[in-house]
Amino acid sequence: MGAGRFAPSPSGDLHVGNLRTALLAWLCARSTGREFVLRVEDLDRVRPGAEERQLADLAAMGLDWDGPVVRQSERARFYDAALASLGGRGLLFECFCTRREILEAPSAPHAPPGAYPGTCRDLTDAEREERRALRPAALRLRAGTSTFTIEDELHGSYEGVVDDFVLRRGDGAVAYNLAVVVDDAQQGIDQVVRGDDLLSSAPRQAYLATLLGAVPPTYVHVPLALNTAGRRLAKRDGAVTLREIGPAAFGMVAASLGLTGSTAADLLDGFSIDRIPREPWIFVPPA
Does position 137 have pLDDT exceeding 60, yes or no? yes
At 208-228, the pLDDT tens digits run 999 999 999 999 999 999 999
What dihedral angle (degrees, nearest 10) is formed by the CA atoms of 238, 242, 244, 248?
A: 100
Among the listed residues 273, 194, 205, 243, the one whose alpha carbon sits nearest the alpha carbon of residue 32: 273
Can 3-73+223-282 and 77-168 be said to share one CATH topology?
A: no
pLDDT at 105: 78
- Tell me what percent of the residues of the chain surpass a pLDDT of 70: 97
Does 271 belong to an annotated binding site? no
Q: Which SS3 state, helix, strand or coil, does residue 226 take?
A: strand
156 Rama sector, left if φ>0, alpha if ψ -120 to 50, beta otherwise? left
pLDDT at 110: 58
Q: How far apart are CA 95 and CA 170, in angstroms?
A: 8
Does 159 belong to an annotated binding site? no
Does 158 belong to an annotated binding site? no
Does position 108 have pLDDT exceeding 90, yes or no? no
CATH of domain 77-168: 3.90.800.10
Does position 109 have pLDDT exceeding 60, yes or no? no
User: 111 pLDDT band (50/70/90 cuts)?
Assistant: low
Does 28 belong to an annotated binding site? no
- For the chain, the domains span 3-73+223-282, 77-168
Mean pLDDT of the chain: 93
Does position 148 have pLDDT exceeding 90, yes or no? yes
In order, the DSSP letters of 178-211 are HHHHHHHHHTTB-EEEEEGGGGGGHHHHHHHHHH
Does 108 belong to an annotated binding site? no
CATH of domain 3-73+223-282: 3.40.50.620
User: 114 pLDDT band (50/70/90 cuts)?
Assistant: low
Rg value, the chain, Cα: 20
At 176-199, the pLDDT tens digits run 999 999 999 999 999 999 999 999
More confident of the two residues 127 and 45: 127
Output b/e per residue, 186-212; b: 16+ Cβ within 10 A: ebebbbbbbbbeebebbbbbbbbbebe
Does 120 belong to an annotated binding site? yes
Q: How far apart are CA 261 and CA 266, in angstroms?
A: 5
Half-sphere exposure of 174 (CA within 13 A, CB side): 24
Q: How far apart are CA 147 and CA 68, in angstroms?
A: 36
Catalytic residue list: 235
Does 201 belong to an annotated binding site? no
